[in-house]
Amino acid sequence: MLGRIINLLPRDWLVYLYKHFPFKRLKNWIVYRAQHKFLVSVLGIITNESGQIMLLKHVYREEPWGIPGGWMELEKPEEGLKREIYEETKLNVTITGIAQAKYGSNPVRIDLIYTGKIVEGTFVPSSEISDIMFCDLDDWPEGMPEVQKRLIKEILSRS
């Protein structure tokens, strides 16, 4: 509601008010409330020592197999992905680079897709992940979303 009201004001007025408003905390609160919000997800195309792709079986999805990932908290994206993978699998990974950033609309979000490798650990099922598998490109399990298959192929074809 506040955002809609503020967006009705001319941009020049908003800049003037921001520059001259004396109460910094209140000013920052108003700016925060007036801005659109969206989520940031971190996703990983993680491979083992043989170059096979790690897929996880998510217990809450209709198409359960897919790449690891989750929502960022107040952390660096790479650390968020490592944390998510460890929480869900007990595997430690190293992140080798960012492969792509994409906009998603349901929910509104930015997806940061990274590549990485497994460093150590033994898979332990969690409340979110019931199984793990490693597969070669195009040797997908039944129940994997087409969008993730295309994403993996696109990213791995660049490297």
Shared-domain flag, residues 77 and 127:
yes
All residues at 6 or more sequence positions from 69 whose CB lies less than 8 Å from its CB, including other chains: 41, 42, 43, 44, 81, 84
Shared-domain flag, residues 79 and 118:
yes
**8 Å CB contact between 137 and 156:** yes
Is residue 155 predicted with pLDDT exceeding 70? yes
Shared-domain flag, residues 75 and 147:
yes
Shared-domain flag, residues 64 and 24:
no
**Cα 31–Cα 35–Cα 37 angle in degrees, nearest 5:** 135
- Domain span including residue 63: 39-158
> What's the rounded Cα separation, in Å, for the pair 157 and 159?
6
Shared-domain flag, residues 19 and 86:
no
CATH for 64:
3.90.79.10
Can you spell out the DSSP letters for 80-141?
HHHHHHHHHH--EEEEEEEEEEEEEETTEEEEEEEEEEEEE------SSEEEEEEE-TT-PP
Shared-domain flag, residues 7 and 61:
no
Shared-domain flag, residues 98 and 135:
yes
Which bin fits 151, alpha (ψ -120 to 50), beta or left (φ > 0)? alpha
**8 Å CB contact between 36 and 6:** no
Is residue 59 predicted with pLDDT exceeding 70? yes
**8 Å CB contact between 116 and 46:** yes
Count of C-beta atoms within a 10 Å radius of residue 128: 17
Tens of pLDDT along 68-120?
A: 999 988 899 999 999 999 999 999 999 999 999 999 887 888 999 999 999 99
Shared-domain flag, residues 45 and 29:
no
> What's the rounded Cα separation, in Å, for the pair 77 and 105?
20
Shared-domain flag, residues 19 and 58:
no
pLDDT at 16 (0 to 100): 74
Shared-domain flag, residues 93 and 151:
yes
Shared-domain flag, residues 78 and 112:
yes
